[in-house]
Each structure stands twice: as C-alpha cells, then as structure tokens.
Amino acid sequence: MSVHYPTLFSPIRLGKHTIRNRVWMAAHATLLVKDHLFTQAHLDYYAERARHGVGVITMEAMAVHPTTQPYKGKAFAFDPRMVPEYRKIADAVHAHGAKILCQPWHRGRETSSVTNGLPVWAPSSIPCAVYREMPHVMTVSDIKEIIEGYRLSARYAREGGLDGVEVHALSHGYLLNQFLSPATNHRNDAFGGSLENRMRIVLEILDATRQETGPDMIVGVRINSDDGHEGGLRPGDWAEIAQRLEATGHLDYISCSHGTYLNRMLIYPTAPQEHGFQMGATRRIKEAVKLPVVGVGRIVTPEEAERHLAAGDCDFVALARALVADPAWVSKAARGEGAKVRPCVGANWCMSSIFAQAPIACIHNPAAGNERELGEETLKPAARPKTVAVVGGGPAGLRAALTAAKRGHRVVLFEKSAMLGGQVALWAKAPSRVELTGVARWLQDRLAETDAEIRLNTEATARGLRAEGFETVIVAAGARGLRHGWTPLRPQRWNHAPMPGTEQPHVFSYIDYLRAEPALGPNVIVADALGGRQGAVVAEVLASKGHSVEFVTQLGQGSPDLAASRDWGKVHGMLKRMGVRFTVDAEIVGIDAAGVAIRDVYTQTVERRTPVHGVVFMLGAAAEDTLFHELLPARADGLDLRLIGDAMAPRRASDAIREGEIVARDI
C-alpha cells in the first residue's frame, strides 16, 4: 500500500480475484486492430500500462455481431480466431500482475451501414442523432443472434485465458441501452414496455455469459448512471436497474459512465469540464448495490482519484485518456511522484486521431500506440554525446531538447521571447483552454530535471551558433501568422499583394493578436479560413474581454474540425452564450478604416459591417525557416542540421512533439 495514496493502492476482492490496487484502465478504441484481430501494437499498448501497475484492464469494445462495425478496425469478439490473440495479450499482461477483461458490445442504432453494407439494428426504428440512418427493427430471431454473440464472446474469452468479461452496450446509448430506455424502445412484444421486458435481453445475455465463464472468471457490466437527456434513464432509474442486475447473482462489479450520442460530451468531455463530474450519479449506484462499483469522469490526477475513493463515491477509479497520456500514471503515483504524471489536458486529440481513421494518439505523448518504437524504455543513451542547439521553445523544441538531454547530449535551448510554450501557451489564454498549459508545463518541468541550458530572450543566429561550435542544430522556431486577407478561395493572390486595408493597425493574424492582446474597440470580426480550433479560441478570448464578436468563415460552419474532437456543439454553444454571432459561407473582401465588406461565396452579394474596430485573421501561418536556410551551407562542413514542427510546416502540437521526439532519438 502506498503511503501517498492509501486508498488508491489498497487491494480489493473482485469475485474470486484479488486486485492489487483501485486503478482500472477503461475500454477505449485504439484502431490498432487489423482484420478484426489484435496486433503486436495492441499487445504492447496494454502490456505497457500493466507493467506500470494498473490493476485491471478492460480492452476496447469488441463486436458481438457483424452488424456493428463503425469502422474496419474493430475486433470481432464472436470470432474463434480471437482465442490465440487473447492468449498472447493475457500472457503479456499477466506477466506484470494485472487482470485483463474483454468488452463485448453492439452499437445498435449508433452506427451506419457504410463499412459493412449491413443494415443498422435497433429495438425500434429511431435514427441516431449523429449517424441519422434508419435502423432495421430487430426481430426476436435477431435478438437471439445478439445473445448468442455475447455467449460466444464469453466462451472465447475463457478459452483465451482472459480474467473476465465486461458486458457492454448498456451505457452510452448503445444497443442494450436502447432496449432499456423508453426513449428508444417502443416495442410492444416481450422485449418492450415494462422495465422487466426492456431488461429481458440484458438478463438473458448475463445468463449466457456466466454459463460460459463459469464461477471463477470476473463478470461485470458497463452501465450509465445518467443518460443525461430528456426521456432517457436518469440516476434513479439506473439505481433500480443496478439492483436488478445485482440480483441475478451473475455479476462481480458494476462500471458506471454517462451519456449517449445525443450528448457525447458526457462520455468523453473536452476541457473545460469539472473533474469527477460523473461521481455524484455514480455514488447513487454505489449506495443502491453491494457490488464493487467502478467510477469514471475526467479523473486526471492521483489526488483526484484518492479523494473520490476515500469519499466512498466508488470502489475503483477507471482511467482512459489519462493512461493514454501517461502509461506510467500508476507507478509514478505509487512513488509519490503524482506531480510528474503527464497530464491529460482534455484536448481529445485521441478522439480526433480515431476520427481520421488513424491509430490511437495523444497530443503530447508521442509513444501512445507506438510503445515498441517510442516507449520510454526504448530510449537509448547517445553513442557519443554531442553539443546540440535547439532553436525555439515551443512544443517541438521542448520535446527535442528534453529527449536529447535524457540521451546524454549537451543541450542549449534558445527562445527569443520571454516565455516557453509557443502557440500552446497562446491558446491557453482562452478560459476554456487553460488545461493546455499542462502540455508545455510538463515538458518544462521535466527539462528542468536535466542538465539542459535554457536561454530566454535570446535570438539564435547562424553566426552565433557556428561560433559556439554546436555539432547539431535543431530548428524548431515555429511559425508567424498570416494577415494578408486572402482565403484559400483566392490561391492566385495568396503570395502576392495583401488585401488593401490589412496593413492597418487594427488588423492582426491570430498569432499576433494572442501574443500581444492589444486593446481594441467594441466590435471585432474573427475571420477564419482554416476551420480548426484557432477561430474558436480567438473568439472566446475576445468575447471574454467584452467585445462584440462576429465569426466570419467561408466554410459551412465555424470551426468544423472540432467535429473530430466531438466538442463542436459544446464550443459553439459556449460561444453563442457569450454573444458570438456566426456568418458562414462568407469571406472578407475589403477592409477600410470604418468597416469591412463581406461577400457571400455562393451568391456573390456583398454586405458592409460598420463600425468594425478590429479584425483577426485565421489564414494559417508561414514557417519560420530562415535560420535553417542560412545554416544549410554548413552541412557541407559537417553540421547536423534538422528542421521540425511548425518551422517545417505549420500543423498541430501533436506533430511538433512527435517530430521533436523522433529527431532527438536520431542524433
């Protein structure tokens, strides 16, 4: 038991098993699956978290039937080919003392037929608010197929040497939740109407699961403690359901979550969100049953976990994104080094990566999903330490400097401004993005533990770097914002004369505005040509200062890229409550001292806005690569010269950090 977090590190019985601590790795998609089977990368991913002390791991949700395939990278729990794959993962995880469970599940209406060409199945023909596809109303025969899929999933879990099965789909609006909720179950047969009937499929699945696992394996269930929407099941309803589930005698625990696809920010909310926001409803479940209860809900630090466990809100704390960000979360907490945990900052880059059909990733843990290549334990000391200059103190430069220093190189980091963090620090000026400071703060704190030298307010020059005799120079100087006024709809003008009026002192690029935060008059236009988070960040900063803000974009909606992180609705709702007005399908075509001309991109009609006291453009950025090109001739003399991050091409913080890690490993 750790003296630092005594409840967190106390053992607990789970069925016939003893769990070494109260940390549970919650299931989450990885897209590491190939041909519906696990891969070596999947094994490495779970083994890394087990090695660092996680008590229980629930693997990602696995389909119980071919009709639930949201994307091709989905494991089939009903496929006997899973058995040898389970054995490999179980052996790897058991070697480190953790327990591992599978999570059979079916999405029901919350998917589409695009991937597999099969109709969407649901208890009633009600389309999902996200996918909007009309489902096939399941027959009794279909229901029996689903029950059999759960049965086979449990059988193969036992044959594969797993420790247990977590029956999923009662939460998050998935198939069994759809049967349970009167909002989505409009049936008039034995599987609809009364709660007893609506629970029938669940109880038959639990019967089948326990028959297959026998008495020794762990069997649990993932439920909601609050659906969080009108007509859905609320905490009192779920407490009654939990009692009925417990009464079956088949369960060893109940795991609680929140939300459906009507309100996905209750499932995996971005910042800002109160940490532990689900615990009030979870406590209702714990008070209703005697079984151990697992709780989730933006638990980020060991202190937060200990507090909820000690308060009796739950018996286990489940972490997903926190363990994506730092697989060593548990081992650091056990050593009393909670402050060294790489924090989950609620950016949901993990979700954005999955949305792009790419494997699991983290905004500032480049090893997530790449443990074999980039895991901490794979870092090797340099064969010969070198003198390394890193130019730029943003995410790319900080990561490169940290990794190079850990490998034994003599590192000097040059930053021409008075602060580190680059654009991450600027974005964190928005009240809702304050947690982003954790990206730069963690890197700075770890860098301070090395022998690296940091020179703030120091602009590196080619002559100076050569004079100091650096053997390697990593240029990570970031990018400068553009304010020429032309959107990508005018490519022929992009690198030519700026739009007249953009040279005025009240016109800014988003980087320049966030860096200086100049005083502006009441009416400000945010002109976004990118569709990313930049426009939302600037609009929030301006609105929080009391400005009247109009968000103008040539796109069909403001910041559409936020659909990938799932918080588009959350952010737009926040901005609208702050008074931000959106003008879409429009671009600025003229600026003068009095106002701005805005043209509809489809009708070409032009409207004037007056008075306008400030314009902030999101037109992208230009790479700060001048120093790199000045140093290029020195390569002939043996200089090892590298270009990374926005200085290579302005993109995302995750790209910058990954490139910083990779280049520092290559020196």
Catalytic positions, written as ranges: 174
Q: Which of 459, 501, 502, 500 is nearest to 482 (CA)?
A: 502
Rounded to 5°, the CA angle 621-625-631 comes to 175
Q: How many CB atoms lie within 10 A of CB 574?
A: 18
Secondary structure (3-state) at 103: strand
Rounded to 5°, the CA angle 66-71-75 comes to 55
Q: How far is CA 370 from the centre of its chain?
A: 16
CB 614 within 8 A of CB 525: yes
Which is it for the CA torsion 488, 493, 495, 500, positive or negative? Answer: negative
CB 316 within 8 A of CB 8: no
Cα distance from N-terminal residue to C-terminal residue, the chain: 41
Q: What is the 3-state secondary structure (H, E, C) of 271-310?
A: CCCCCCCCHHHHHHHHHHCCCCEEECCCCCCHHHHHHHHH
**For 171-302, where are the E strands, in sequence order?**
218-226, 253-258, 293-295
Kind of pairing between the strands at 23-25 and 56-63: parallel
Q: How many CB atoms lie within 10 A of CB 346?
A: 25
* E strand or H helix that includes residue 410: strand 410-414
**For 7-156, where are the E strands, in sequence order?**
12-14, 17-19, 23-25, 56-63, 99-105, 121-122, 136-137
Separation CA 78–CA 93 (nearest Å): 22
Q: Which of 366, 252, 283, 186 is nearest to 13 (CA)?
A: 252
C-alpha distances in Å from residue 541, one per residue of 512, 571, 580: 13, 13, 11
C-alpha distances in Å from residue 68, one per residue of 71, 129, 136, 137: 9, 17, 13, 15
Pair of tokens at residue 164: 């247990």
CB 383 within 8 A of CB 356: no
381: preceding bond cis by omega (within 30 degrees) = no
CB 108 within 8 A of CB 123: yes
